[in-house]
Amino acid sequence: MSLADTVKQDLARAMKAGEKDRVGALRLVLNELQKTAKEGNGDELAVLRRERKRRLEAAAAFRDAGREELAAAEESEARLIEGYLPKQLDADALRAIVAAAIAETAASSPKDMGAVMKVAMSKAQGNADGKVVSGLVREALGA
């Protein structure tokens, strides 16, 4: 069963239960998944990560503008989307991946960050947020 099918089923359940906010969020996610499938890209997890990132950025913007209720709604949608994503690696596992990537690329300065990021993100196999990995790489390379 594809991720889009799972979202469709959850959407039907939310509609029956009368969960308006959940229905709205699931419809948006399903729309993006279907649009990506139609375009032939097919990477459902990338779509979910992108949509989650958009919600978190919107929440930050709303919070900066003093709109707490809208920020909370965006964060709620981000958590809903997060439920469909694979579990993220913890900090210790990410540090080990970053250390292995630095050793593999023989990186020694912040100039080597791009090469380290490429290796680290491929080793994380989509189970890590790029900002978190970037921060760990900067920390390890002394940037």
Instruction: Give the C-alpha separation, 26 to 4, whole Å.
Output: 10
Higher pLDDT, 39 or 73: 73
Single pTM value for the model? 0.73
Stronger pLDDT, 73 or 128, i.e. the higher one: 73
Is the same domain home to 74 and 105? Answer: no
Domain shared by 95 and 76, yes or no? no
Number of neighbouring beta carbons within 10 Å of residue 87: 7
CB of 48 closer than 8 Å to CB of 84 = yes
Domain count, the chain: 2
CATH of the domain at 122: 1.10.10.410
State mean pLDDT over 49-69. Answer: 93
Taking residues 117-131, report their average pLDDT.
84
Q: Does position 41 have pLDDT exceeding 80, yes or no?
A: no
Residues 6 or more apart whose Cβ sits within 8 Å of residue 38: none
Is the domain of 53 the same as that of 97? no
Nearest to 55 by CA among 25, 22, 85, 11: 25
Q: Where does the pLDDT of residue 143 fall: very low under 50, low under 70, confident under 90, or very high at 90 and above?
A: low
Q: 44, 61, 82: which is the final residue of a domain?
A: 82
CATH code assigned at 42: 1.10.1510.10
Confidence (pLDDT) at 23: 93
Residue 128 lies in domain: 91-141
